[in-house]
Structure 1
Amino acid sequence: MKTNSSPRRCVRTLILTGSLLLFGALANGPVAAAGYVAGSVPAADGTRIHYVDNGRTGAAPVLVFVPGWGMDHTIWDAQLAAFGEGHRVLAMDPRSQGASQLSGGGNTPEVRASDIEALLTARKLDRVVLIGWSQGVQDVAAYVQRYGTGRIAGLVLVDAAVSRGAGGVAADPQAAQRFLEMMAVYAAHPREYLRGMMGAIFARPLAPAQVDRRVEIALRTPVSTGVAMLVADMYGVDRSGALKKFDRPTLIVAAASSDELAAQKAAAQQVPGARLEVVADAGHGVFVDQPEPFNTALREFLETLRR
């Protein structure tokens, strides 16, 4: 995650330049948002995947929110509140994050895609709008690559380009070098690194207590696992081919400051009928910085699925 010229760089590329901008809730177990019930489902390898679900019934598509690296479902709190009245809404904690079980292996978008499928199967969900942010974009792409869109009503990619895998090293060797440098910083000083990250990915600074809580949540992921996740996310599998399988309505939301904006625009052009929404005055955490513009864009997108 970078911090110098673009707040966006921090989360996916924690990584690319990151500077060390220098809760208790989890301690007592996760607390579900109002109107939501917490639960867990077993993944294919037995890892327990935590989720919250408002259990609403109706004809509207089901919304499933997938957070980014180091985050849990509570990063979507504003969206859980905004959309829970009209939709069945779920949000998950990826394996080895938040309240999901720590996993010694499988911490890749490809395995997390199977975790998403396990959740959809266990909760008997169809007509799903799959919404992924940052690392979650890789998970959504991996899901479509492996499982197709049979269960899917719509796809939403939030402020990250679908990874080109190891090809990204040749495309931008300096970025790869900075990534490795920052992984060393994260490994040596995880708490300071994460605090710097939380200061960099949001254009609107979080309150100190919120920063503390976000850092504690991120620290639930062992550092070695966190590094493995980021390597697999950025330089693992080339998932760009998954865009050819995006045959459902697609919304791409990008921060105007994103250093991957050009790549996100290109992705929107590759997916027939995709809508691109660029949000001003937002960092990488675009839906946290600007919840109303983000929610409006998502709400308008959902309306198109009713037609």
Structure 2
Amino acid sequence: MMRGGHACPVSLTPVKRGLSTPANCQGLMRAMEPFGAPLLTAWARAAAVGAVWLVVSGFTAGPEMASGGAASVPGIGAVESRSFITSDGARLHYLEAGPRPDLTAGGPPTVVFVPGWTMPGWIFEPQIDALKDRFHVLALDPRGQGESEVTAFGYSYERRGRDIGELIEQAAPGPVVLVGWSLGVLDSLAYIAGQGDGRIAGLVLIDNSVGEEPAPVARPSTASPSDRADIPEDERRRRRVAFVASMFAHDPGADYRARLTDQALRMTQADERRLLAYDVPRSYWRAALHSTDKPVLYVVRPRLRPQGENLVRTHADARMEVFETAGHALFVDEADRFDALLIDFLDHRVQSGAVH
């Protein structure tokens, strides 16, 4: 790829730790710092540069999309691909696995996964696989994401919260544990704010601010004014390639990243921006979280530790776990540890059938 008259070299081989990115490629890498995240790890820089070359060369790897019935989710068996129509007419897709609860026997709650910005529900593959033998599991593709309809409307926190509520009404009998990651944290709290906690047995909130003090430290922006408007699609793909790579401390593999990148480019750029600009103060999210006394597990990286400490101190039933070296998708990077925490939370902190 040529930038400024100089070739940005391509390497599809592992990069030794500490190897610097060529100067003419650094702007591209910095532009993809997601949500103030650090610069990419060495392997991610190499992956992003290599993937950029593949895009410019005209090669893209696309996912096999499930059209119904058994879902096309590598590594997970006995998962159903389903959809429902929301009250505003959108077709939303979700994955379903595990035994439906026997309400007469006071069985375990349904676990509902809500992914982050532009991400599909299947990113929770390790958790679905770990839970499906014992728990009823749903993984939502929010509107415009995964295999859900790319609507021309509904990209607000209020509507996203209602979408979660309508999924629960449609597919989750009995109590529910909401597991939200990144933007899915805010969408889950929007559900609580709008509809209360009557169906909620517990909350698992992964690696996003919840409005507690201190506010995340603002970092110098590398965004340009053009980021407030649409950018060329090849540039958008280059940035999304690096965004996806930046979410992991350990490379999940080129095929996985390519599939995730393709799925993260489905909605319009304007709607992507709307999802990053929810028009409420930080106190809205804190008030929503403190409106419930249901058990909360806050799972974060070190930069959110101070918020977690305040949450644990002020909430009726909150605990925190810090993943010191994982990436933003910590439940993929350290799946075994996360799965053990989640199952322990379900077994010991969420009372069977408890919705009070």
TM-score greater than 0.5 by the shorter chain: yes
Q: Following the alignment from structure 2 to structure 1, what is the Cα–Cα distance between the partners of residues 336 and 290?
A: 31
Name the CA shift for 1:103/1:199 in 2 (closer, same or farther; >3 Å): same
Q: Which runs of 5+ in 2 are unaligned?
A: 1-25, 50-60, 102-106
* Deviation, structure 1 residue 215: 0.7
What TM-score does the superposition give when structure 2 sets the normalisation length?
0.73
2:327 aligned residue (273, 283, 303): 283
* Deviation, structure 1 residue 266: 2.4
Q: Following the alignment from structure 1 to structure 2, what is the Cα–Cα distance between the partners of residues 56 and 211?
A: 31
Matching of residue 218 in structure 1 with residue 264 in structure 2:
yes
* Pairing of 1:93-132 with structure 2 (within 5 A): 93-132=141-180
Q: Following the alignment from structure 1 to structure 2, what is the Cα–Cα distance between the partners of residues 242 and 302?
A: 22
Matching of residue 209 in structure 1 with residue 252 in structure 2:
no
- List per-residue Cα deviations over 1:55-84 (Å, max 9, x = no partner): 513401110000011110110000000000
**Residue 262 (structure 1) aligns with:** 306
1:31 aligned residue (69, 72, 76): 72
Contact 1:17 1:178 in 2 (8 A): no
**Comparing 196-205 with 16-25, which one deviates more in the overlay?**
16-25
Name the CA shift for 1:28/1:130 in 2 (closer, same or farther; >3 Å): closer
* Deviation, structure 1 residue 223: 1.6
Q: Which runs of 5+ in 1 are unaligned?
A: none
**Letter of the aligned partner of 1:31 in structure 2?**
S
2:83 aligned residue (40, 44, 53): 40
* Deviation, structure 1 residue 225: 1.3
**Letter of the aligned partner of 2:72 in structure 1?**
V
* Pairing of 1:187-266 with structure 2 (within 5 A): 187-188=231-232, 189-232=235-278, 238-256=284-302, 259-266=303-310
**Residue 57 (structure 1) aligns with:** 100
Q: Following the alignment from structure 1 to structure 2, what is the Cα–Cα distance between the partners of residues 150 and 190?
A: 41
Q: If you compute each CA radius of gyration, which structure gives the higher value, 1 or 2?
A: 2
**Residue 141 (structure 1) aligns with:** 189
- List per-residue Cα deviations over 1:273-304 (Å, max 9, x = no partner): 21111123201100000001101111111112
Alignment length (residue pairs) = 292
Matching of residue 82 in structure 1 with residue 120 in structure 2:
no
* Deviation, structure 1 residue 236: 8.7
**Comparing 69-78 with 57-66, which one deviates more in the overlay?**
57-66
What TM-score does the superposition give when structure 1 sets the normalisation length?
0.84
Q: Greater RCO between the two (CA within 8 Å, min separation 6)?
A: 1
Contact 2:97 2:132 in 1 (8 A): yes
Name the CA shift for 1:41/1:187 in 2 (closer, same or farther; >3 Å): same
